[in-house]
Structure 1
Amino acid sequence: MSGSPNPSRHNASEKAISAGHSTSVDPSLQYRVDPEFADHTGRPHPHHHLADLPSSGKRFLVRLTGRDRAVLPTYRDSLLSVVLYSWTNALLVFLPLSWISHFLHWHQGITFAFSFVAILSLQRLFEFAGEEMAIFCGKSLGDLLVITLDNAVEITLAVVLLQRCELKLLQSTIVGVVLLHLLLATGASFFSGGARIYEQQLNPHATQLNHSLITLGVMTLLIPTAFFNAIRNNPERTASTAPASGGSEPVAHAAQGATQIAAAAFPAVSDETRLVFLKMSRGFAIILLIVYVGTRIYLNNPPGDNNALTVHPLAPEAVHKAEEEVRNKQPKLRPLVCVIVLLVTVPLMAATAEWLVDTAEYIRHTGNMTEEFFGLVVLPFVSFSADAVMSIVYFLRRSLSLKADPPELAEGRAIDLSIQFTLFWMPLLTLIGWWSHKPFSLLFDMFEVAIALAACFLVNYVTQDAKTNWAEGLIMVAFYFMIALSAWFYPGQYDIRVMAEACESVLEVIASGHE
């Protein structure tokens, strides 16, 4: 690479460092590959060459701890980088305000706004720490780490909704997160990344597997929906819904009459039917987790000699170039500082997300929103707000700058976010609900399953040639807004809502509704 320091001078510097001599080094020698990232605050130290290590496990540990680099930033400069890395740090002032507003019971709209902005700044902070940690992990494993951290806000919201037994809202939010990452986030990245280049490339090996994985995840929701709609009008499946006699006889007769009317109108809605779907969903969850773990092993440790944590040999040149850039990039944080930032910001974000959910019902009623629209659009957008701001800034910077070379590799990480959410987090939420006695199943609203399937097929068509451009990104964003517009008018499927909302007994919910 042009601009690299002289190898002989660099080796001499390394020997001097290893021998314990003075650490006064020519600034041009501090960074081994690309002086663009040179920073005179780095501290040289004895380090290893990865090629000299016998096993991939040792190479990974050495790289993870930064001992393969000639220079690492000091702890002081790492903390300074955390403070000054982005203008969004200024928004952290809303974090204590959101907590004060929650505990002092200020207006719920104020608490929602403070929590929203605080989550935006916290998300950018732990994304920064994740991106820096990815430098030490390599592109393949680093992308998996960043993807997991990017899903942190959504998972926190989902767990809070699960524990509060807001199961229908949780289902809508899961579909909304998948739609947002598949269409809006991916489309926005394609649109901004292709602002000054005819077409960008995707890794064809990962893309082909992603097509199968995202289709599997969405089709998993189709099976329970098709099953339910096949039996909903079948009189043989009508369950006995007569409640046990007891208490006041007129009250018992009234409840029994209401239940019988509801059972006649919705013959498939019963505790017995819900138990069937719970068992089915838990089995699906275990299968999906096995598939996800297996595919991560395949991608990060493919068959063959010395393929662990490396780019596929047949990957396009743009993919190898991206891996080389990650390998040569000088980190701004030390690995330990990255871990500390993550351990601090993720719990803060989790608690702030709970304050946001506390005020969600007020915001929904104030805005006259249906539960489906709130879950499909509003709550997922809370997690995407920080990325949306950065995408706009990135697009303007790339489109207006004539000096920077446009990236050849398209940013398709949001597709991996959707895959992880459907194949890992969604089944994990199902098992957590099983463990915590919350009847969360994979029986979703038919409309939500249909739009998820449509989004899946559109993304697969756009990325099938492993190439993309800004026009295809525009198509994906446009389709997302079409879905959002239709969701505003969608009232929801009543029998699915009853099956999801009943944390105790389906019959009690039906009877109370008809009374």
Structure 2
Amino acid sequence: MPASETSPLLENGNGVSERQPLSHRMLAAIKAEGQPGWLQSYRYFLFGSWLNILLLFVPLSVISHFANWDAALRFSFSFIAIMPLAKLLGEATEQLSLKLGQTLSGLLNASFGNAVEIIVGIAALMQGELRIVQTSMLGSILSNLLLVLGCSFLAGGIYFKESNFQVTGAQTASSLMTLACITLVIPAAYHSAQNRNSTATFEHLLTLLNNEPNGSLPELDDTKPGLLIISRGTALLLLFVYVLYLVFQLKTHADFFQAEGEEEEVEPGMNMVAAGSALLLVTVVTSFCADYLVASIEEVAERYSIPKAFIGLILLPIVANAAEHVTSVWMAMKDKMELTIGICVGSSIQIASFVVPLLVIVGWIADRDLTLFFADFETITLFISVMLVNLLIQDGKSNYMEGVMLITLYLIIALAFWVS
């Protein structure tokens, strides 16, 4: 191969080295030795999994939306279409991470690891469906902590009597998860305290009603301004803590999160530019499908008597976490519990400490009053779930019985929200 194709420097006739034009260097980077070509990259991306056959539902989602088909069809087509899109988002992110190094790949996974949740959350936020935003975020946390981790422990316990994992890293992750859980308790406690004070003065306000010439009742103190201040301030602090956690996990204490033994080297299936363009394209397509999905929820809930809380808490997270669910269980069956813990607990931390605060900030910018105030039942549900996970992983061991416990709690929560 000529030197001009391999080196960024060329020698002119006087023996002086000159730098190659930028276009040549970019072409050399795209055609870097050992990286797959464009055709091979996209073939790997589109035909690398049988799940991608569900991409046929993407055009059906678009057609059903614009043709205004039955709400159940619109919801179902968009619901199914997001499953392979979530898998492709994870695949593109992983392919980019293979070439970016530990720090950049960690930041990339933080940004796109829960891309579906972010896209669905923003779509619901822009449509004013604040209840769907809150329940879908809470549902993603519970799905990862209880359903995905429970199925992983159960699958691992079938193949191995007992599985071990790095307890220090797991406890650090669960402690941060507990902190994020507490930040959701504080707004609920504030709201409850303020309402108690308002109730105490209600009789006094009724006595004032008789003295009002027009018969109007003076307005009660509203907790909304205070909740907005608490939520937005908490969101900024949680984002700061999450950045520090990334530094802690990837730099200063990386050994706490690494499994013992040699790591397997993964061969890239896509080149950098193909992976980046695929990530961008799939993100755009997912945003449209998520928008169509959210737009059909209201009608589906009313026509088929399905509680909106159940749709947001149970159904939507199943779509978003489908790819993670399969990967986590597969890793547990190989006795790679550090990876399983990283997927389940790590993803929950991303939701609670990154995605939820991010949506609060986006709502702040877009003049949508999204807060961290959840209903008492939802707050208690999250608290007991985090408490159970902390109890089960604090010894650094897992078995199938612990998996059964986690799945059972998830099913009980699903049943409770179905009748709510």
CA distance in 2, matches of 1:209, 1:408: 16
- Which consecutive residues of structure 2, in runs of 5 or more, have no partner in the other structure? 8-27, 207-212
- TM-score normalized with structure 1 length: 0.69
- The 8 Å contact of residues 161 and 167 in structure 1, kept in 2 or not, is answered as yes
User: Root-mean-square deviation (CA), in Å?
Assistant: 3.2
**Residue deviations 1:437-469 (CA, integer Å, cap 9, x gap):** 212111210000000001111111111122223
In structure 2, the partner of 1:493 is: none
Within 5 Å, give how 1:235-250 maps onto structure 2.
235=198, 238=201
More off after superposition, 334-343 vs 470-479:
470-479
Q: Which residue of 1 aligns with 2:412?
A: 482
Change (3 A) 1:149 1:187: farther
Following superposition, the deviation at residue 194 of structure 1 comes to: 3.8
Question: Within 5 Å, which residues of 2 pair with 1:231-310?
Answer: 231-235=194-198, 238=201, 256=216, 270=221, 272-302=222-252
Distance 1:110 1:450 in 2: 34
Q: Distance in 2 between matches of 1:459 and 1:276?
A: 32
Distance 2:158 2:116 in 1: 29
Instruction: Deviation per CA, 1:178-226: give whole Å up to 9, x if none.
Output: 1111111222223234431233333334212212210110100111111
User: Which letter does structure 2 place at the counterpart of 1:351?
Assistant: F
Aligned to 1:153: 116
- Answering whether residue 376 of structure 2 is matched by residue 446 of structure 1, we say yes
Q: For 2:348, give the aligned amino acid.
A: S
In the superposition, relative to structure 1, how do residues 144 and 184 fare at CA in structure 2: closer, same or farther (>3 Å)? Answer: farther
Distance 1:485 1:147, change over 3 A: farther
Aligned length: 392
Task: Tell me the distance in 1 between the aligned counterparts of 2:278 and 2:184.
Answer: 36
Q: Hey, what does 2:345 align to over in structure 1?
A: 415
What pairs with 1:200-239 in structure 2 (closer than 5 Å)? 200-235=163-198, 238=201
Q: State the alpha-carbon separation in 1 of the partners of residues 160 and 416 from structure 2.
A: 33
Moved more, 340-349 or 160-169: 160-169
CA contact (8 A) 1:278 1:439 kept: yes
CA distance in 2, matches of 1:151, 1:93: 23
Please state if 1:166 is matched with 2:129. yes
- Give how far 1:369 is off: 2.2
CA contact (8 A) 1:202 1:410 kept: no
Are residues 1:343 and 2:293 paired? no
Deviation at 1:356, TM superposition (A): 0.6
Distance 1:168 1:119 in 2: 21
For structure 1, the 5+ residue unaligned runs are 1-16, 21-44, 47-64, 243-249, 304-310, 400-404, 491-515
Identity %: 31
Post-superposition offset of 1:231: 2.6
Aligned counterparts, 1:366-381, within 5 A: 366-381=303-318
Spell out the pairing of 1:396-411 with structure 2 (5 A cutoff): 406-407=335-336, 409-411=338-340
Counterpart amino acid of residue 453 in structure 1:
F
Counterpart Cα distance in 1 of 2:234 and 2:338: 35
Question: Which stretch shows the higher mean deviation, 436-445 or 74-83?
Answer: 74-83
State which of 181, 199, 220 in structure 1 corresponds to 2:162: 199
Greater percentage in helix: 2
Higher relative contact order, structure no. (Cα contacts within 8 Å, ≥ 6 residues apart): 2
Match of 2:14 in 1: none
Question: What is the alpha-carbon distance in structure 2 between the residues aligned to residue 416 and residue 275 of structure 1?
Answer: 32
Matches within 5 A, 1:127-142: 127-137=90-100, 142=105
Using the alignment, how far apart are the partners of 2:97 and 2:57 within structure 1? 28
Q: Following TM superposition, by how much is the alpha carbon of 1:336 offset from its aligned partner in structure 2, in angstroms?
A: 1.6
| CA-CA distance at 1:88 after TM superposition | 1.7
What is the correspondence of 1:13-28 to structure 2 with a 5 Å cutoff?
none
Q: 1:436 aligns with which of 366, 369, 375?
A: 366
Matched, 1:181 2:181: no
CA positional deviation for 1:241: 9.3
What is the aligned partner in structure 2 of residue 365 from structure 1? Answer: 302
In the alignment, the residues of structure 1 paired with residue 174 and residue 60 of structure 2 have an alpha-carbon distance, to the nearest angstrom, of: 43
Structure-2-length-normalised TM-score: 0.83
Cα deviation code 1:54-87 (max 9, x no counterpart): xxxxxxxxxxx999x9732233321221122011
Counterpart CA distance in 2 for 1:126 and 1:343 is 9
| 1:183–1:476 Cα contact (<8 Å) kept | yes
Matched, 1:111 2:61: no
For residues 247 and 283 of structure 2, the distance between their equivalents in structure 1, rounded to whole angstroms, comes to 26
The amino acid of 2:169's aligned partner reads: A
Q: How far 1:347 sits from its partner (Å)? A: 0.8
Contact 1:210 1:419 in 2 (8 A): yes
Tell me, in whole angstroms, the C-alpha distance in 1 between the residues paired with 2:200 and 2:250.
47
Q: CA distance change for structure 1 residues 132 and 319 in 2, over 3 Å: closer, same or farther?
A: farther
- Answer with 1 or 2: which has the greater Rg: 1
Deviations 1:290-320 (A, max 9, x none): 11111111221217xxxxxxx42x666x345
Q: Secondary structure at the match of 1:90?
A: helix
In structure 1, what is the equivalent of residue 403 of structure 2? 473
Alpha-carbon distance between aligned partners in 2 of 1:137 and 1:467, rounded to the nearest angstrom: 32
Letter in structure 1 aligned against 2:270: L
Partner letter of residue 125 of structure 2? L
Secondary structure at the counterpart of residue 321 of structure 2: helix
Query: Are the aligned partners of 1:190 and 1:410 in contact in 2 as well (CA < 8 Å)?
Result: no
